[in-house]
């Protein structure tokens, strides 16, 4: 590999870690970077290497959030545990479920998310007593995040962090910052489940992934600290930017 390619991938890993730590969506940066660096690389190997890199950054980001913000462990831990097998099943199903089936639906959902956030400026701030959320809603949030989004992350993936944030914000009456903290914990579970399957299938570039993981950790640490310092308003802006880029990327893949 040329030095320029290595440097580019390390920089991409750091940028992906920053984005992932704030709102999710780091795969938007890292997976295309891997496929550009290795034009003949099987997509599954790009996904597997991305999971190896991402799990390190999300773990560090989750730990940073847990130390410095209120983290509802009664939601985070069960959802993360459910996400491990759900993402593993999703990864096993990835080859039999074409990505073209998902793109139109995901684009529509992301556009709806962007419009909702734009026209509801108070969304993402605490608008009701979070402690008053019913047990049923909390269980549904755990199920949707752990099983639904876990499976989605294993089988397809783009926008996982964004969807987790929207689930926790809308169902648990949390600020974007608190939802992002929960999303990071669950994302560790989704990455672990998918990585286990990709590793078993031999679809991970271990040495390259380990090198990128170091940069991903640095980016994730900076991203989590930036989000904690700037607050939910900052997370809201980054969320809208990432959603917009993700919709454009999916539209290009579908129609380009």
- Residue 82 CA to residue 37 CA, distance in Å, equals 34
Say yes or no to pLDDT of 101 above 70: yes
The residue among 48 and 95 whose pLDDT is bigger is: 48
DSSP state of 146: I
Hey, which of 40-44, 99-103, 145-149 has the most confident mean pLDDT? 145-149
Say yes or no to pLDDT of 125 above 80: no
- Residue 130 CA to residue 174 CA, distance in Å, equals 7
The pLDDT score that the predictor gives to residue 209 is 94
What is the per-residue pLDDT across 170-220, written as a single tens digit (0 to 9) for each? 898 888 888 999 999 999 999 999 999 999 999 999 999 999 999 999 999
Lowest-confidence region among 36-40, 83-87, 104-108: 104-108
Say yes or no to pLDDT of 99 above 70: no
- Residue 219 CA to residue 225 CA, distance in Å, equals 10
Q: Which contacts of 231-237 are long-range, i.e. CB under 8 A and separated by 24 or more positions?
A: 231/177, 232/124, 232/125, 232/175, 232/176, 232/177, 234/22, 235/22, 235/23, 235/124, 235/165, 235/176, 235/177, 235/180, 236/117, 236/124, 236/176
The pLDDT score that the predictor gives to residue 94 is 76
- Residue 47 CA to residue 191 CA, distance in Å, equals 10
Say yes or no to pLDDT of 65 above 80: yes
Domain count, the chain: 1
Taken in order 119, 121, 123, 127, the sign of the CA dihedral is: negative
The pLDDT score that the predictor gives to residue 128 is 58
Say yes or no to pLDDT of 130 above 80: no
Say yes or no to pLDDT of 227 above 60: yes
Give burial (CB, 10 Å; 0-12/13-18/19+) of 152. Answer: buried
Secondary structure of residue 67 in the 3-state scheme: helix
Structure confidence at residue 70 as a pLDDT band (50, 70, 90): confident
Helices assigned H by DSSP within the chain? 3-22, 27-37, 43-68, 73-93, 99-119, 135-143, 150-155, 160-172, 176-200, 206-230, 232-255
List, in sequence order, every residue forming a beta bridge with 123; answer none if it has no partner.
Answer: 125
Mean pLDDT for the stretch of residues 18-39: 87
Confirm if 133 and 173 have CB atoms less than 8 A apart: yes
- Terminal alpha carbon distance of the chain: 30
The pLDDT score that the predictor gives to residue 50 is 92
Which string of b and e fits 52-68 if b means at least 16 CB within 10 Å?
bbbbbbbbbbbbbbeee
What is the per-residue pLDDT across 137-168, written as a single tens digit (0 to 9) for each? 999 999 999 999 999 998 888 778 889 999 99
Residue 184: other Cβ atoms inside 10 A: 32
Mean pLDDT score of the chain, rounded to an integer?
Answer: 88
pTM tops 0.85: yes
Determine phi and psi for 125, rounding to 5 degrees.
-110, 160
The pLDDT score that the predictor gives to residue 93 is 84
Q: Which residues constitute the domain of residue 183? A: 3-255
CA distances in angstroms from 118 to 32, 43, 109, 123, 242, listed in the order given: 28, 34, 14, 9, 14
């Amino acid at each position: 590999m040329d030095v320029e390619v290595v440097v580019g991938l390390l920089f991409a890993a750091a940028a992906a870690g920053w984005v992932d730590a704030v709102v999710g969506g780091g795969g938007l940066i890292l997976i295309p970077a891997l496929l550009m660096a290795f034009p003949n690389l099987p997509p599954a190997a790009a996904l597997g290497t991305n999971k190896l890199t991402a799990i390190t950054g999300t773990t560090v980001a989750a730990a940073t959030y847990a130390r410095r913000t209120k983290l509802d462990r009664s939601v985070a831990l069960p959802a993360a545990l459910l996400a491990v097998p759900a993402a593993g099943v999703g990864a096993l199903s990835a080859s039999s479920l074409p990505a073209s089936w998902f793109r139109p639906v995901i684009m529509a959902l992301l556009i709806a998310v962007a419009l909702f956030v734009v026209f509801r400026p108070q969304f993402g701030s605490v608008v009701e007593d979070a402690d008053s959320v019913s047990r049923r809603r909390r269980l549904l949030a755990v199920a949707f995040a752990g099983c639904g989004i876990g499976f989605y992350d294993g089988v397809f993936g783009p926008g996982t962090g964004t969807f987790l944030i929207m689930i926790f914000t809308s169902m648990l009456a949390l600020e974007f910052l608190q939802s992002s903290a929960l999303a990071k914990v669950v994302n560790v579970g989704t990455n672990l489940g998918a990585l286990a399957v990709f590793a078993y299938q031999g679809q991970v570039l271990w040495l390259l992934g380990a090198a990128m993981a170091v940069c991903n950790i640095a980016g994730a640490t900076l991203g989590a600290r930036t989000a904690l310092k700037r607050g939910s308003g900052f997370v809201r802006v980054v969320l809208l930017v990432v959603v917009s880029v993700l919709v454009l990327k999916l539209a290009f893949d579908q129609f380009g």
